[in-house]
Structure 1
Amino acid sequence: MRRTEVSVRADVEGQHEFRARVREFFASPRVREAVTRVRTAPPEDEPGLLDVYRWLGERGWLAPSWPERYGGLGRGLAESAIVTEEMCLAGVPDDAHVLGIDIVGNFLLQVGTDAQRARWLRRLARGESLAAVLFTEPACGSDLARLTTRAAPDGDGWRLYGTKIYNQKTQFADVALCAARTSESPVPFDGITLFLLPLRSPGIVIRPVENITNDRFHEVVVDGVRLTTDDVVGTVGDGWALMNDMLLLERTGIDFHAKIRRWLDSVAAEVRGSGDLDLEARFVELDARLRAGHALAWRVVAELARGEADPATAAMAKWYVTEQARAVIRFCLEVRGMSGVLSTWDADPVDNGLVEAAARYAPTHRLGSGTSEIMLYIIASSALELL
């Protein structure tokens, strides 16, 4: 057997062992109790920093691919994907993890300064601090080239002016990765710079934007907050390229698949006990589609780990996986019947109202991390060369 084959086999065996340990952690009584408390809390008690995150951080599992000096384990992207997948399968809220670790933390790890890494990474990896993302604006959603938040020159720095919207966890976060224009250009992609914006600064107003899920969105108004070159992530004017490169890490489809898989698995026993052959056949078809999406998502993870990231493949994975959400939740509602519309705040709901909550969250899967329409545009232009 060649040495490379031995190495690959060892890696896979190590990942299986790591997954078993992570799964055992999420199945432990204290984690299950913590998840139940979060899932049954009233809407106004939206969770911020979770005990589960701190427990993961103590093990180096919240960001296992990060170097040990920054609170990780120095392992690979596969281990990070395993944690994300098992977290979602266990029903642990993952929004703060995606924002703080997968996006902001990875940006800093890849292109941040030594000072930025030293200040933030260990706090994020230990579950001691949260970070948010300020990209979307009222007049631009997935088309970030149209953003208008501006960084006006001010001595050796800038003052930021603009409004961001549909941002999550900003009421709990200490810092946000904010995209703003530092220069004007006929080319809309040019002149965008990424900043680390302290969210407790004078000149920042955070307002809730109500929606149908349990987690609020927010409007963030930035009025003249002063930033310096120490707050720039990457280089000035290079924000568009950085966002496109780094957001691939958010588009594997791993997290979306695990959430949808959890929904379908929650009704598996009822389908098997129904004696309805048509219902069983439809379950099998949905299961097969999810398995295909799972394989595609892990293909993206493998490509990223090899340094062979392909935006089109990532877009395919994200689009294909999230497009299963509506069909799966309709099926779950059909299987559950009237009990499926009982929420966690009703008396004795099945699975703490899992299906009812999923029905409210399902539409967001087509929007988060880039809309389905944007994913199709990337596929059509990059892979099929139709545009």
Structure 2
Amino acid sequence: MTAPLTTRPPAPAAARSDDFRAEVRTFLASPEVREELRRFSDLPAGREPGHLEVFRLLGERGWLAANWPVEYGGLGLRAVDAATVAEELGLAGVPDVAHVLSVDIVGLFLLMAGTDEQKARHLPPLARGERLATVLYSEPGVGSDLGSLRTTAEREGERWRVTGRKIYSQKSQFASQALCAARTCDGTGSGITLFLVDLTGPGVRVSPIWNATEERFDDVTLDVLVGDDDRIGPLHAGFAVLNTCLALERTGIDYQAKVRRWFDSVRDTAEQLGLLGDEALRQRLVALDTEILAGRLLAYQAVEAVDAGAVDPVVSARSKWFNTELARAVVELALDVAGLAGTATRWDGEPGWRETVEGIYRESPNLRLSAGTSEIMLKVVATLGLGLEG
């Protein structure tokens, strides 16, 4: 007897809110959302989505930042409810980079470290999907080593002059604000302060860094004045805030949803091509499907830790590593199933790049690199989880 191939599994019991999930899923399957995704898929080469209308529609319902307090545009729900939205966005094929940057990263920093005035001023537009924010961390020659940043913020009267160059940021060409890490005093792991920078004002230059994917990176040069009212968190202690927020960011929910969507597409293709009679392929599909389900459980374990107020960087790193490494296995399977047809691109008149094997082949490495590389995740698990020397 051959093993059955599963379809999209339900959420773990501890994380389930069936009515809310069904409502979000129904909305994302609505004609207005599907039409927007079709328009996105039809974008010519070199164009990418910016601030999607679907985010504004989610914001109208309070779903874009469902776990934020009501006064800041959310619904006051749990982290698991916000994870439900993120998961359903990924499963529906909605481009999620802008949502992750604005809500899950910049919004999270503001919630954790911002003043009441900063929260009231900045969070509602993000929650309503009216404003897009991004992050400016990495620099030339620095990469993931945030303790070695060279961008500086120096006092000029009542303000700070932020000068430096940031690379590999995304959506900066669309964003109005950016959370920028800058050095405010000498030191390695210390001396970093976070500022919210206006990207629409003078002293900001955004240039493209073209890459193998179709969502470009940006090269951002800064020479701007920032007031104390846009300094986020304590002076010289931004590195500690960064480490805490990164653990919250790395639940893996958005990654596993994307991997699940890719896998489901591969399985459907195998069925359409009449390949499921191959027992070796069936067993390979079943094994990978089981791993993806396990990754989902790891992700929800990390989310539940957020709700319990017991965020563990090891749990988050483990989930992020496991779920993003699965992307490589899904791509290899997709290439084997599709064969030569898997090399077709949008330039060949095929569907949008997210719907082609060639497209996910180019996108998949980004999962393993963003929010901390796989190597960094393994180091976190080894040093903090196993007590090994760094």
Please classify the TM superposition score into its range, dividing by the shorter chain length.
Answer: over 0.9
Residue 250 of structure 1 corresponds to: 249
Give the superposition deviation at 1:189.
1.2
Range with greater deviation from structure 2 (16-25 or 111-120):
111-120
Structure 2: stretches of 5+ with no match in the other structure: 1-11
CA distance in 1, matches of 2:308, 2:194: 26
Local SS of the residue matching 1:266: helix
In 1, are the aligned partners of 2:41 and 2:352 still within 8 Å (CA)?
Answer: no
Q: Deviations over 1:332-374 (max 9, x none)?
A: 1111122222223423449974322111101111100100111
Letter in 2 for 1:329: V
Give the superposition deviation at 1:70.
1.3
Residue 163 of structure 1 corresponds to: 165
- RMSD of aligned residue pairs (Cα, Å): 1.7
In 2, are the aligned partners of 1:329 and 1:359 still within 8 Å (CA)?
Answer: yes
CA distance in 1, matches of 2:348, 2:24: 32
Give aligned-pair identity as a percent. Answer: 50
Residue 297 of structure 2 corresponds to: 295
Corresponding position: 1:109 with 2:111: yes
Corresponding position: 1:277 with 2:279: yes
Residue 233 of structure 2 corresponds to: 234
Matches within 5 A, 1:129-148: 129-148=131-150
- Structure 1 residues 50 and 350: CA distance shift in structure 2, 3 A: closer
RCO comparison, higher one (Cα < 8 Å, 6+): 2
Letter in 2 for 1:86: E
Quick one: which of 17, 31, 45 aligns to 2:19?
17
In 2, are the aligned partners of 1:252 and 1:300 still within 8 Å (CA)?
Answer: yes
Residue 6 of structure 2 corresponds to: none
In 1, are the aligned partners of 2:151 and 2:162 still within 8 Å (CA)?
Answer: yes
In 1, are the aligned partners of 2:206 and 2:220 still within 8 Å (CA)?
Answer: yes
Give the superposition deviation at 1:156.
2.3
CA distance in 2, matches of 1:271, 1:43: 28
CA distance in 2, matches of 1:285, 1:243: 36
Local SS of the residue matching 1:139: coil
Give the structure-2-normalised TM-score.
0.93
Following TM superposition, where does structure 1 have runs of at least 4 consecutive aligned residues deviating by more than 6 angstroms? none
Aligned residue pair count: 375
Q: Deviations over 1:183-239 (max 9, x none)?
A: 113xx111100000001121111110001111110000112x111211110111110
In 2, are the aligned partners of 1:65 and 1:76 still within 8 Å (CA)?
Answer: yes
CA distance in 1, matches of 2:278, 2:352: 21
- Structure 1 residues 12 and 169: CA distance shift in structure 2, 3 A: closer
Corresponding position: 1:191 with 2:170: no
CA distance in 2, matches of 1:350, 1:149: 38
Residue 152 of structure 1 corresponds to: 154
Give the superposition deviation at 1:166.
0.2
Matches within 5 A, 1:11-50: 15-50=17-52
Quick one: which of 82, 87, 90 aligns to 1:88?
90
In 2, are the aligned partners of 1:209 and 1:217 still within 8 Å (CA)?
Answer: yes
Give the superposition deviation at 1:47.
1.3
In 2, are the aligned partners of 1:340 and 1:353 still within 8 Å (CA)?
Answer: no
Q: Deviations over 1:38-95 (max 9, x none)?
A: 1221133211110110110110010000111211111010011000000011110000
Local SS of the residue matching 1:218: strand
Residue 176 of structure 2 corresponds to: 174
In 1, are the aligned partners of 2:154 and 2:184 still within 8 Å (CA)?
Answer: yes
Structure 1: stretches of 5+ with no match in the other structure: 1-8
